[in-house]
Amino acid sequence: MEIVGLITRFTQFKENDAMISVVTLDKIYSFLARGVLKVSSKNKASIQPFTKSQLQISRGKEGYSLRTGIVLESYEHAKAKLESLLVLSLIGELTNKVITNEEVTNIYPFLEQSFILLNEDFHPLTIALIYFANVLKVIGLSLEVNKCVISGQTSEICAISLIDGGLISKDAFDPLKHAYANERKINIYRQIFLAQVKDMNRVAFLDEECLEILKELSMYLSDNAGTYLKSLKLINETF
C-alpha cells in the first residue's frame, strides 16, 4: 500500500526499529519501521519527525510495517530553528493526542500549511495558535466568536469565557465568573477560530499575546478532554 503523509511521531522500538505515526489526508497510520536506526538504513530519512514522505507499507499479523520510503519535503529550515522546532513538537503532540480518523480530513490542510509556513519563517507562535484553534474546532470544542454565547448579542462584546464557551456581551457579563478582555484579545480569538488555511499567514500576533492564549486554550482542552500537552512547557520557557 502506498501512502503520502506527514510524520508526526517517531518512537524508538528495540535497538534498531521505530514506531511511526503518519497523518495522511484521510487517515492516520501507525507502523513499525524495522532497521531504520541503523546507519546504513535507506529509509531513515523518510520517517524522520515532521517530514512529508511517500511510503510503501504492508499489513501483516502484527499490523503495518514499512517497506520503502521517499522524502517529499524535509522542512529542514523549520527544524533548524529552535522556536519553529518547538512549535512543530507542539503541533505533533496535539495531533497525536486528540485527532482521530474521523477528524483527520478536516485538520490535514492546516497541518500541512503549518509545516510549510514554519519552513518559510512565518511567526511560529501565531501558527501554533491558529492550528490549536482549528484542532479544537474539528474535535467539537470550538468557541463561539461571532456573538455572545449567552445572549446572542453581536455588539458590546467585553469578555471571553472558556467555561461558557465563547464571547460575552456586557448584558451577559457576570463579575463573579467573567473577566474583562481588551478589544485586541477579543479580535485575536475571533481571527484564530475563523481562520481558513489561506489566512494562516495573513497576520502575526505578538509572542506574549500568543503565549497567554495558548495557555488558556491548553487549560480549556485539559478541562474538556483531559489532554495535557507536555511540549507547551518548553515553549513557555523558551519564548
10-residue mean pLDDT profile of the chain (239 residues): values are 97 92 97 94 96 96 94 98 98 98 98 99 98 98 98 97 97 96 98 97 97 98 96 94
| Residues of each domain in the chain carrying CATH 1.20.1440 | 76-142+183-238
Report the pLDDT value the prediction gives residue 61, as an integer from 0 to 100.
85
Straight-line distance from the first to the last Cα atom of the chain, in angstroms, rounded to the nearest whole number: 42
**What region does 22 belong to: left with phi over 0, alpha with psi -120 to 50, or beta?**
beta
| Residue type, position 173, single letter | F
pLDDT of 96: 98
pLDDT given at position 216: 98
The residue assigned the cell 512565518 is: 122
Cβ(216)–Cβ(162) under 8 Å?
yes
Strand ranges for the chain from DSSP E? 2-13, 17-23, 28-33, 52-60, 63-73, 144-148, 157-161, 166-169
Amino acid 143: pLDDT = 98
The C-alpha cell that represents 25 in the structure block: 489526508
Per CATH, the number for 2-73 is 2.40.50.140
Whole-number pLDDT of residue 14: 85
Residue span(s) of the chain under CATH 2.40.50.140 come to 2-73
Gyration radius from the chain CA atoms: 20
- Other beta carbons within 10 Å of 130: 28
Which own/partner contact pairs does 29-33 have at CB distance under 8 Å and 24+ positions apart?
29/3, 29/5, 29/57, 29/64, 30/63, 30/64, 31/57, 31/63, 31/64, 31/65, 31/66, 32/62, 32/63, 32/64, 32/65, 32/66, 33/65, 33/66
Indicate yes or no: pTM above 0.85: yes
**Count of alpha carbons within 13 angstroms of residue 131, beta-carbon side:** 28
- Retrieve residue 198's grid coordinates: 489561506
Element containing residue 97 per DSSP (H, E)? helix 82-98
Instruction: Tell me the fold of 76-142+183-238.
Output: de novo design (two linked rop proteins) (1.20.1440)
What is the grid cell recorded at 108? 490535514
